Amino acid sequence: KQEVTQIPAALSVPEGENLVLNCSFTDSAIYNLQWFRQDPGKGLTSLLLIQSSQREQTSGRLNASLDKSSGRSTLYIAASQPGDSATYLCAFRGHGSSNTGKLIFGQGTTLQVKP
Amino acid sequence: NAGVTQTPKFRVLKTGQSMTLLCAQDMNHEYMYWYRQDPGMGLRLIHYSVGEGTTAKGEVPDGYNVSRLKKQNFLLGLESAAPSQTSVYFCASRSWGRGGRDEQFFGPGTRLTVL
């Protein structure tokens, strides 16, 4: 059974710090991996999508990398701001579900950026 | 463009009562999904649909039924609610097959409490 693990479960940093969130998966047959942001009481907003053929994707201060051989993805947030405070979820899609689109989610990392 | 909407936003049920959650999308997507989110367990797939008139079981389908009579709507039903179904329910639709990005778009969620 595919498992997706996110470490740490919670993180608190001062404003301005660069930080890394980790996501690991057990199935090497990855189709793509998607990073989401979830604000308290809200839905999920897609941040970055990395295809299995890609090594990284960037959007503004966010950079997501993918290492298929080690079964890991990292989300790098540069110069963190209080507005970045949210829960970050990674979601794995394997080749076996490339047609159905089923995602396997990690439990999330809750980030707090202090002013 | 409303994207993915969910009705209702909140609901409290007594054990044994029934209800239907409605998901609507205006992006003409074929694929739609229902997830539940519980503390410490991430999002888990309940049921999904790959097109109008089709449904399939996900990871945790027991106690739920679904229908996709119209392409834009995906309904999730609880015939006899149980306290274990207290959760936040998210609907999503998937963009795929038009040469664009293959990603899922989420609704704002329905917070359900079963007493």
Measured CA angle at B49 (ends B64, A46), to 5 deg: 100
> Predicted confidence band at A28 (pLDDT cuts at 50, 70, 90)?
confident
Q: Contact A43/B90, CB-based, under 8 Å?
A: yes
Chain B contact for A94 (CB, 8 A cutoff):
no
pLDDT tens-digit map of A36-86: 999 988 889 999 999 999 999 999 999 999 999 999 999 999 999 999 999
CA-CA distance, B74 to B32, in Å (whole number)? 7
Please give the pLDDT value at position A96.
74
Size of interface A-B (CB pairs under 8 A): 58
| Summary mean pLDDT of chain A | 92
Strand ranges for A68-114 from DSSP E: 72-77, 86-94, 104-105, 109-114
Cα pseudo-dihedral A33, A38, A44, A46, rounded to 10: -40
Q: What are phi and psi of A95, to 5 degrees?
A: -60, -30
Chain B contact for A108 (CB, 8 A cutoff):
yes
Q: Contact B106/A45, CB-based, under 8 Å?
A: yes
Residues across chain A:
115
Which chain B residues are closer than 8 Å to A5 by Cβ?
none
pLDDT in 10s for each residue of chain B, 115 residues: 679 999 999 999 999 999 999 999 999 999 999 999 998 778 999 999 999 999 999 999 999 999 999 999 999 999 999 999 999 999 999 987 656 678 889 999 999 999 9
Return the sign of the alpha-carbon dihedral for residues B103, B58, A39, A11. negative
CA-CA distance, A111 to A37, in Å (whole number)? 10
Measured CA angle at B107 (ends B102, B111), to 5 deg: 140
Please give the pLDDT value at position B41.
79
CA-CA distance, A13 to B112, in Å (whole number)? 33
Q: How far is A100 from chain B (nearest CA, A)?
A: 7
**Which residues neighbour A19 within 8 Å (Cβ) at sequence distance 6 or greater?**
A11, A13, A76, A77, A80, A111
